Amino acid sequence: MNIQLHNTMTGKKEAFSPINPGMVGMYHCGPTVYNYIHIGNLRAFFLADTLRRMFEASGYQVRQVMNVTDVGLLEGDNAEDKMTVALKREGKPLTLEAMRGLADFYTQAFLNDLESLNIKKPHVLPKASEHIAEDIAVIERLEKKGLTYAIGDGIYFDTSKADDYGKLGGIGPAQSDAEQSRIGMNADKRNPRDFALWKINPSLGWESPWGKGFPGWHIECSAMSMKYLGETFDIHTGGIDLIPIHHNNEIAQSEHATGHTFARYWLHNAFVNVGDAKMAKSAGNFLTLSSIIDRDISPLAYRYFLLGARYSTLVNFTWEALDAAQTAYSKVIALVSAYPEGGMVQTAIWDEALAFMADDLDTPKTLALVWDVIKNPDIEPADKKVTILKIDSLLGCIEAGIKVQADLNNDTMIPIEIIMLQKRRDIARANKDWKVSDELRDEMARKGYEVKDTEEGQKIRKTS
């Protein structure tokens, strides 16, 4: 299979060639667990999952690593760590124990979102707070090479000694300086684009050769990716907003520490916009999966919505577009679930689907192929079912939707509207909001569905 991927490093589509034949090592910038993840952020993890599905279907053995940033993320030299800000927001003590508890809560919320979107859990999910020794080791390597310097608030990487700094995405020194200045700069730095490797904090943090404090956000990703994938690995992914600073900083510190290429292929997903603006917590225009569920829309319908655009294409989110995606998605689920069992995969169609995905993850063409199969009168219904489910191993939403909607008690399909009421009730019960839980149970009953709470979760049965 000739796999073509658009490499941000070169700015063009390239044939994929792994370091080790038949194996792929991938690192994905994961969540910062100081709050719930919004659906724009989730597109990055959707990209990671789609990439993994394509490689696995192509016969590769995949090792997928995604970090959890539970300490060290600062949006400027003089900013507070986001986890510290979150502790203050929630009225918790400024201790490492409280920080771990906060991180565990939002990490689990993130994993729940991945499950709701049918995104496969990465093989390795390392926490930044558990890799402090690895961070220190990389900083010491840089220090021995004369690439660091100390100022009052920490240890910084000297980018003037990295001639190729900013090579990812063609970011020149002037643009890099502007980006760094935009997010807040320490005036004591030698260059605006120099970045923190270790931040001093005498009251909270870990001991280090440079004093008590925290690792920088960038050093964490370098240390964790190299620990689990080696000093050079195949693919690194993330959102396009990470290119100018975070990913260029990762490259600079990693390659100057080791003397080797860091990642060979870089893939970046475009934004999910609301109107003309990027979805972001700071802008106050973000939506979580819970926001979607509250509108009785399936999280898998959001996955279906994302499949309609290539990962590198800007997506404009509207409720009307998502409603349309749910309507189309529900129709696919109903049609495919009604087809009989026992068919044979149409190999030519499967090969076409795999070729589309191998062409830089062309999910729109792959999704359109599903509809071509549905509409083709020359394909037997049983063959349609098994072929579409085979294609769905690349898309990840149809079989999962059939399983979600199937009532295990009587083999009937439960409408998405009822499933969404069930999910809202799950959230209410988790929050111990028994009043809302009872109201949702009553609403389901009025619509003809009885719900019973069991040790295995809610069980739904059609009553009328």
**DSSP-based three-state secondary structure for 278:** strand
The mean pLDDT value for 236-258 works out to 97
Domain 23-273: which CATH number of 3.20.20.20, 3.30.420.40, 3.40.47.10, 3.40.50.620? 3.40.50.620
Residue 285 clears pLDDT 70, i.e. is over it: no
Question: Each residue of 150-181: pLDDT tens digit?
Answer: 999 999 999 999 999 999 988 766 555 555 54
Q: pLDDT value at position 279?
A: 67
The mean per-residue pLDDT over the stretch 110-137 comes to 97
Give bridge partners of residue 127 from the DSSP assignment. Answer: 68
> Which residues in 120-228 belong to E strands, given as ranges?
148-151, 154-157, 195-200, 213-215
Q: What is the pLDDT averaged over residues 97-113?
A: 93
C-alpha closest to that of 197 among 241, 261, 252, 259: 252
pLDDT digits (tens, 9 = 90+) for 180-218: 544 556 889 999 999 999 999 999 899 999 999 999 999
DSSP-assigned states of every residue in 38-106: PTTTHHHHHHHHHHHHHHHHTT-EEEEEE-BB-S---SSTTSPPHHHHHHHHTT--SSHHHHHHHHHHH
> Which of 183-192, 227-236, 400-409, 453-462 has the largest mean confidence?
227-236
Local confidence band at 391 (pLDDT 50, 70, 90 cut-offs): very high
pLDDT value at residue 45: 98
Mean pLDDT for the chain overall:
91
Task: Please determine, for residue 131, whether its predicted confidence score (pLDDT) is greater than 60.
Answer: yes
pLDDT for residue 265: 98
What distances in angstroms separate CA 116 from CA 269, 289, 363, one per listed residue?
20, 9, 20
Q: How far apart are CA 326 and CA 332, in angstroms?
A: 10
| High-pLDDT (> 90) share of the chain, % | 73
Question: What is the pTM (predicted TM-score) of this model?
Answer: 0.88
SS3 assignment, position 405? helix
291-305+314-462: in CATH 1.10.1790: no
433 burial via Cβ count (<10 Å: 0-12, 13-18, 19+): middle
Note the pLDDT of residue 451. Answer: 85
Task: Please classify residue 205 by burial: count the beta carbons closer than 10 Å to its beta carbon, then call 0-12 exposed, 13-18 middle and 19+ buried.
Answer: buried
Give the pLDDT of residue 426: 81
Residue 42 near residue 117, CB atoms below 8 Å: yes
pLDDT digits (tens, 9 = 90+) for 395-429: 999 999 998 766 544 445 677 778 778 878 887 88
Structure tokens that stand for 343 in this block: 């068919």
Could you tell me the residue ranges of all domains in the chain? 23-273, 291-305+314-462
Over residues 333-345, mean pLDDT = 95
Domains 23-273 and 291-305+314-462 share a fold: no
Greater confidence, 416 or 231? 231
pLDDT for residue 362 is more than 60: yes
pLDDT attached to residue 282: 61
Rounded to 10 degrees, the C-alpha dihedral 37/39/41/46 comes to 110
Asked whether residue 130 carries a pLDDT value surpassing 80, the answer given is yes
Q: How confident is the model at residue 80 (pLDDT cuts 50, 70, 90)?
A: confident
What is the average pLDDT across 9-13? 97
Instruction: Tell me: pLDDT of 90 over 70.
Output: yes
pLDDT digits (tens, 9 = 90+) for 343-359: 999 999 999 999 999 99
Average pLDDT over residues 97-109: 93
Q: How many whole angstroms from its chain centre is CA 204?
A: 29
Mean pLDDT for 118-147 is 98
Give the model's pLDDT for residue 425: 86
The pLDDT, as a whole number, for residue 72 is: 78
